Chains A and B, each alone.
Chain A
Amino acid sequence: MRLLHWLPGRLLSAIVVLLGASILIFAAVRSLPGDFAQIVLGPLSNEEQREQLRQSFGFDRSLPEQYLLWLGNAARGDFGLSLASQQPVLDELASRLPVTALLAGMAMLVTIAIGIPLGVYAGTHASTGRGSAAARIVSTIGISFPEFVLGCLVVFLFSRFDLGLSVGAFTSPTTDFGRGVVSLLLPALVLSVFCVAATARTTRDAVIGVLVEPHIAASVARGEPKGFIIRHHVLRNALIPVLTLTATITAYLLGGAVIVERVFNVPGIGSYLVLALDRRDYTVIQAGVLLATAVFVIASLLIDVLTGLVDPRVSVAKKGRGA
């Protein structure tokens, strides 16, 4: 119920962020060096042909005019045609979205399934030393290894030696979900290494922080067993900083997907955007980056709501500000 007090304001600010992002994206794309007409028609075209092409796509109008036109259409769900393929941008992105969504989803799943238990273990065994030191070393390595290095290493190892999984042979999850998952296993693992390490580290620190709180001492004094205290009182309290990190991880997965898809040759949105950049396919770049921004904004919003549910004090603070 508290949600209703601050959600409208939060939604409004999300829309403002998206609008601001759309302006930035539009300006950035148009200031890229290289002329679309030149790239499409080649060096042998004459100025008249190029002018005609620009006119047919509306590039002869002023930039603000172009922006408003694009925004108006985008608001109605029409992102125009891809300049390169002449197909609707929305269809092109929609056909690739399941691949990237599955990749990011798998990476997120691995992150939660490994990162959080690892962090809880390290946090609850911090005083014993050995487990904690191991966790710290592993997480430091994981955080500092760039995914393109790791990705190339994995691609090399799995294509040079027969290790059970093949790289490069891709099956779309829409045709065969099971094989799709298998073919995305390696990219997802590479993508999740950083996230697992960061999550484990954050969870560990959060757990250590919660363990020294007086209400934990009170549970100990009541004679509660360690496992019981961790399950009921530590996890929920330690979850708050981990949830905040999840927003950052979402952003990372979006960016990391571009690199990992490229390295593993996965036909998702990331690799499609890189291709569109090469081809100066303005409409595709605009729509793709706006999509990524929207995903991030929505994820942040969801995480805010979740944080409010886990920690009642958070939503009260927001309510106070709004009211």
Chain B
Amino acid sequence: MNSSAPGRQLSSVERVALKRESRRNILLCTPAMIVLFFAASGPLLVMLVYSFLTPGDYGGVVYKLSSDGWFRVFFHQDIFDETVSVASAHLSIFWRSIKLSLLTTIAALILGFPTAYFIATRPVKSRNFWLFLVTIPFWTNLLIRTFAIMELIRNRGLVNNVLMKFGVIEQPIQMLYTDFAIMLGMTYVYLPLMILPLYASMEKLDFRLIEAGYDLYANRFRVLRKVIIPLVKPGIVAGSILVFIPSLGAFVTPRVLGGGKNMMLGNLIELQFGQGRNWPLGAALSISLLLIVMVAMLLYVKNMQKNKGEQN
């Protein structure tokens, strides 16, 4: 057997060296761990505690234990006759958030995949230029970019004006303040987060494998399905997570492009901390959002492990 083959046994010296190195690497990431702990776990803990307290009259919380916040996430109690009904408004917002985030992820994947492939197949020198173009939108504030989209798609906006001028349509199409507008905005905002990890895994792709696929009677579509997609799967996964999760909690984009009617979870939560003056409900909604993300990730990891099991 070839001694330089992958998968060979490590010698004891190498093992000790590896162990020592990994110990040192743990030390290197300690500062980041501390920051993450206080910046992420701390606020989360506060949220968890707040969700079980009583709302104060002018916002804030009163330190008195109550399950009212969590109760209101799912149920609605009439102010006058105190009848309890399912909080259908909340549930529909949950559903809309998940639906729009999924659609946004799919749209970003469909748009991002060919873009990343294009960049990865450019000569090495010009790839950085294309990546640079992808990152340009980050230079401007999110709010300004979102208002720019609003300017484009409103009833008297550029798109409608041009379409009417050329007689394609007679009446302006209502695009602003629809789910479509939210999806368009989110896809635009989060597309780079899909392209970059996709590019990272495509760049590592051995293009001779694609030639091998063609050589073995796979046409373009089958090479894509049987060779390229399985090999860049880590990038697809990373990109999808990076787009799906922030979409789920998006707040500026649905606010500006969705108007008051088409709320998403982020807006609902913001409402409770602002005008609603119900911090425990807001906190409970936030924790619910977190739970949705965790369940989605869990399902996903399970699925990955199952796939891996099939492969081995």
Whether chain B is bound by chain A comes out as: no
